[in-house]
Chain A
Amino acid sequence: DIQMTQSPTSLAASVGESVTITCLASEDIYGSLVWYQQKPGKSPQLLIYGATILEDGIPSRFSGSGSDTQYSLKINSLQPEDFASYYCQNGLSTPWTFGGGTKLELK
């Protein structure tokens, strides 16, 4: 199985700041990286697929980058609704595997 390691596990920031979350795959996943946002009591929401492609309706302050084994999610100009948990997922091969999550909290 491809192991996905996310960092940091938690992050505190203020509205208006920018943050970056990273995801490291245990092997090359050729850009097949997916990012989700999950708010408490809600189901995950697809943000980015193919490492860089924004899902329809997702604000442009979210962006993804990376290749091979290293990927990042950047959120510019944090808004109050962005404080949530974020997960990366290996989309290359089954079993699809998730990172451990990053909880983004308000400072």
Chain B
Amino acid sequence: EIQLQESGPGLVKPSQSLSLTCSVTGYTITSGYDWSWIRKFPGNKMEWMGYISYSGSTNYNPSLKSRISITRDTSKNQFFLQLNSVTTEDTATYYCARSLIGMDAWGQGASVTVSS
């Protein structure tokens, strides 16, 4: 059974970078699928941020393109989110998920607050 788990700081200062890790067990991220980051804002709006494919290519939401980077460590079966120059508007719950036709496996979510 596949499991995903997000980890990282719960508090980030404005203008700094937000970094999260998604650790995957039960499936090898180079075997297939795209590996996405999604966030849910207070007020419940959801935004797909981007993905890294099983082959290592990336696809980002244009709304974030200048600030986002998704990378991976295949030896650890992990993928990562970096979001630069954060503001209070980046406060959200961040999820990693396996995606193809829909997102069929999700992490439990990591709450991140941007505040000084």
Contact = CB atoms under 8 A, between A and B. Distances in A.
A96 B102 CA distance: 9
Contacts, number: 53
Given A43-B95, A43-B108, A98 B102 contact: no
Interface string A42-80: 111110011000010000000000000000000000000
A92 to B, nearest CB: 10
Q: How large is the interface on A (under 10, 10 to 19, 20 to 34, 35 or more residues)?
A: 20 to 34
Nearest to A95: B61
Contact of B101 (A43, A44, A91, A101): A91
A14 interface: no
B11 interface: no
B51 to A, nearest CB: 8
Given A43-B95, A95-B62, A101-B46, A34 B101 contact: yes
